[in-house]
Amino acid sequence: MKIPEKPRTTAIRLNSYIADCGVTSRRKADELIQQGRVMVNNKVITSMGYKINSFKDKVFVDGERINLSQPVYYLLNKPKGYVSTVSDDKGRPTVIELIRTHIKIFPVGRLDYDTTGVLLLTNNGDFNQAMTHPSNNIKREYDVKLDKILSQDDEEKLLKGVFIEGGRGTFLTVTYPTNNKKAPTVVSSEGRNHFVKNMFKALGYTVTALHRRSFGFLTVKDLPEGSYRELTQRELKLVNRILNNKR
Ligand code: URA
């Protein structure tokens, strides 16, 4: 994973700087400036065409410091009823709406509209690529609810390999933490869309609820549904270490 380097210093128009930080378009940045929502250092700036020094000056939008290329990483406990995209042509709520930030972020991989649990969001394309690339084998753990009891035979098939759209898929483990054969927990290192549902569907089961309990070592154990937090520096170091070891 490559953390972006510091940008070059320049005198830059305030509206361009806000747009380059990924907050919004240049035109909308002008509106923010006019509305008195932008501060440079300790001063509200409302004049159009104002220039800043991108190394020295500190810029705030609605009180939040913004930076060029500042990478951000969020861990969300996704609730049901949100799509894991930046926008939705059907007008459904998106996970982006759950995160209060001016920085343009996107989800790392996808969870279905009705799936809950661990979802990472970032503005760092390298991080996204590293976490989702199949060669990195990042494990995902899912709590599943099925419409019927999972038979021993089918459990074995899921571990050996099942043919689904896009090719053969396998679960690495299938366990029953609550001793309920309708509620297995499965682990896979697959990121294909609808992977878990398609695996069960191939054997005639319907997934009635799905929760991603973990993604690598990241869990939402202490995060209520709909809440999020930034990844800690320690977590980011660990992610980096894991990914570097895999190279
Ligand atoms: N597999 C699915 O079927 N759905 C998800 O949301 C995640 C994994």
**What digits encode the pLDDT tens for the residues 122-176?**
988 888 888 888 888 899 999 999 999 999 999 999 999 999 999 999 999 999 9
Cα of 238 from ligand 1 centre, angstroms: 25
Cα of 1 from ligand 1 centre, angstroms: 25
71 phi/psi in degrees, rounded to 5: -75, 140
Instruction: Encode pLDDT of 109-125 as tens digits.
Output: 999 999 999 999 998 88
CB distance 81 to 113 below 8 Å: yes
Q: Which residues line ligand 1 (CB under 6 A)?
A: 111-112, 115, 194-197, 210
If asked whether residues 146 and 201 sit together in one domain, one would say yes
If asked whether residues 81 and 119 sit together in one domain, one would say yes
How many other C-beta atoms can be found within 10 angstroms of the C-beta atom of residue 211? Answer: 20
For the chain, which residues score pLDDT lower than 50? Answer: 1-9
The protein residue whose alpha carbon is closest to atom 2 in ligand 1 is: 194
Q: Give the total number of structural domains in the chain.
A: 3
The protein residue whose alpha carbon is closest to atom 3 in ligand 1 is: 194
Probe target for ligand 1 pocket from 142, 158, 185, 198, with the most ligand atoms within 8 Å of CB? 142
Containing structural domain, residue 227? 73-134+222-246
Instruction: Assess if residue 7 is contained within a domain.
Output: no
* Helix, coil or strand: residue 135: helix
The protein residue whose alpha carbon is closest to atom 7 in ligand 1 is: 111
Look at the block and give the residue holding tokens 């951000």. Answer: 72
Write out the catalytic residue numbers.
112
If asked whether residues 122 and 239 sit together in one domain, one would say yes
Cα–Cα dist 119/105, whole Å: 12
Give the pLDDT confidence score for residue 246 in this predicted structure. Answer: 57
